[in-house]
Amino acid sequence: MLRLGRVDYVNVFPIYHAFETGAVPLVAETVRGVPAVLNQKFMAGELDITPISAFAYASQPETGWVLPDVSISANGRVASISLFSRKPIEELDGEMIAVTTSSATSVALLQILLQKHYGLRCSLLPMAPNLTAMLQAAPAALLIGDDALREGEHWGFGAIKRQARQQGVPGDGQATQVGDEEQPLWIVDLGEVWKAMTGLPMVFALWAIRRDFSHRETTAIDQVAEAFRQARLWSTAHQKEVIAAAKNQYDFSLPVLEDYFTTIRYDLDGVYRQAAERFFQLSAEIGLLPAPVPLKVWGEGRA
Ligand SMILES: C=C(O[C@@H]1C=C(C(=O)O)C=C[C@H]1O)C(=O)O
């Protein structure tokens, strides 16, 4: 049976809910994990198809293909990839930044933004995603996924950003100051900063197909690609139902889920592919990848 990964965050709930309810049929053994765990399991051959960090794909592009019409992306603000800093971002030069061990893409993205956008040199300290412990160890911390969403809500950042969105004010990548005067906290959404720097959406994750699986299971992969296409369509057409189901399974409020599920994008068409390749190119420019890599999309250019 197909061994399919699932990011253990609410970000992929709309897609996998379509499979789990049977609205879109897909026979698979689903394995949950945070992105770093899925990346590692995929590389070790324990998963056939899985969302992996875009950066992990680019680090080992020979491992396989990517599904054509699905990604975890955002066109500007993402709401779940944030830097939390005890100092204004511009004052972090020479400092240490604690980074979640759950991520690969966002840690690379942070390094690109620090160097190319802010002109800062910082060292990174990988840590488990616990904001209190991270901010005891370093003046700033990077969180992703549910951890970032939850802390964003806790500090009022989520509410401020949702209000701005409702008023039609686009995010410009500037930090928002929260906390009190004695212990201020600056929070910045890395999707917004990337968009301000490049003008592009940001592709955080891709669904990778292992090369050995692709040799055995060509028809199955075509079916999986189609199932993901259908799941995206289904979840868009059943948004209310999807949000209500997520509300039952996660401790996020309705406004948070409504906002998040219309902020996270699953696109992988023209501009998103261009965006992924721009991210790989900048990763290579700052020495995180040996060379920029093209996206190898299943069903396109294959023999
Ligand atoms: C938008 C997100 O996308 C993700 C970020 C990833 C990363 O930083 O490596 C990997 C998979 C996705 O879960 C998120 O987790 O918040």
Residue 294 lies in a domain: no
Residue 301 lies in a domain: no
Tokens at 299, concatenated: 């069903």
- pTM for this predicted structure: 0.97
CA 9–ligand 1 middle distance (angstroms): 9
pLDDT at 301 over 90: no
Percent of the chain residues topping a pLDDT of 90: 95
In short, whether 80's Cβ falls inside 6 Å of ligand 1 is yes
CA 215–ligand 1 middle distance (angstroms): 28
Provide the pLDDT for residue 204.
98
Last residue of a domain, one of 198, 214, 239: 198
CB 14 within 8 A of CB 41: no
CA 35–ligand 1 middle distance (angstroms): 7
Residue 291 lies in a domain: no
Residue 14 lies in a domain: yes
Does one domain contain both 41 and 65? yes
Provide the pLDDT for residue 303.
41
Q: How far apart are CA 284 and CA 61, in angstroms?
A: 14
Provide the pLDDT for residue 302.
56
Q: Whose CA is nearest to atom 10 of ligand 1?
A: 53
The predicted-structure confidence for 278-299, as pLDDT tens digits, reads as follows: 999 999 999 999 999 999 999 9
**What's the mean pLDDT in 134-142?**
98
3-state DSSP percent of the chain in helix, strand and coil, to 5? 45, 20, 30
Into how many domains does the chain fold?
A: 2
Does one domain contain both 173 and 228? no
Strand partners for 49: 4, 209
Does one domain contain both 211 and 70? yes
Q: How far apart are CA 48 and CA 216, in angstroms?
A: 11
Q: Considering just the CA atoms, what is the radius of gyration of the chain in Å?
A: 19
In short, whether 204's Cβ falls inside 6 Å of ligand 1 is yes
**What's the mean pLDDT in 39-46?**
97
CA 150–ligand 1 middle distance (angstroms): 15
pLDDT at 172 over 50: yes
Residues 6+ apart with CB under 8 A from 100: 106, 107, 126, 127, 128, 129, 141, 142, 143, 144, 147
CA 181–ligand 1 middle distance (angstroms): 32
CB 188 within 8 A of CB 91: no
Ligand 1 atom with the shortest distance to the CA of 191: 1
Residues 6+ apart with CB under 8 A from 23: 17, 231, 234, 238
The predicted-structure confidence for 52-80, as pLDDT tens digits, reads as follows: 999 999 999 888 899 999 999 999 999 99
Does one domain contain both 117 and 147? yes
Q: Whose CA is nearest to atom 4 of ligand 1?
A: 204
Positive or negative CA dihedral for 71, 74, 75, 81? negative
Instruction: Give the ipTM of the model, two decimals please.
Output: 0.98
CB 276 within 8 A of CB 295: yes
In short, whether 268's Cβ falls inside 6 Å of ligand 1 is no
Last residue of a domain, one of 154, 171, 198: 198
Provide the pLDDT for residue 63.
80
Domain CATH number, residue 98? 3.40.190.10
Q: Whose CA is nearest to atom 2 of ligand 1?
A: 145
CA 205–ligand 1 middle distance (angstroms): 6
In short, whether 71's Cβ falls inside 6 Å of ligand 1 is no
Q: How far apart are CA 142 and CA 158, in angstroms?
A: 16
Residue 296 lies in a domain: no
Residue 293 lies in a domain: no
Pocket test for ligand 1, best of 6, 13, 15, 53 (most atoms within 8 A of CB): 53
Domain that holds residue 220: 3-74+201-285
Does one domain contain both 277 and 265? yes
Return the closest-CA partner of residue 84 out of 166, 9, 190: 190
In short, whether 104's Cβ falls inside 6 Å of ligand 1 is yes
Does one domain contain both 102 and 39? no
pLDDT at 194 over 70: yes
Does one domain contain both 210 and 237? yes
Q: With bands split at pLDDT 50, 70 and 90, how would you rate the model's confidence at 271?
A: very high
Return the closest-CA partner of residue 125 out of 150, 92, 159, 163: 92
Provide the pLDDT for residue 62.
86
Does one domain contain both 89 and 231? no
The predicted-structure confidence for 245-263, as pLDDT tens digits, reads as follows: 999 999 999 999 999 999 9
SS3 259: helix
Residue 299 lies in a domain: no
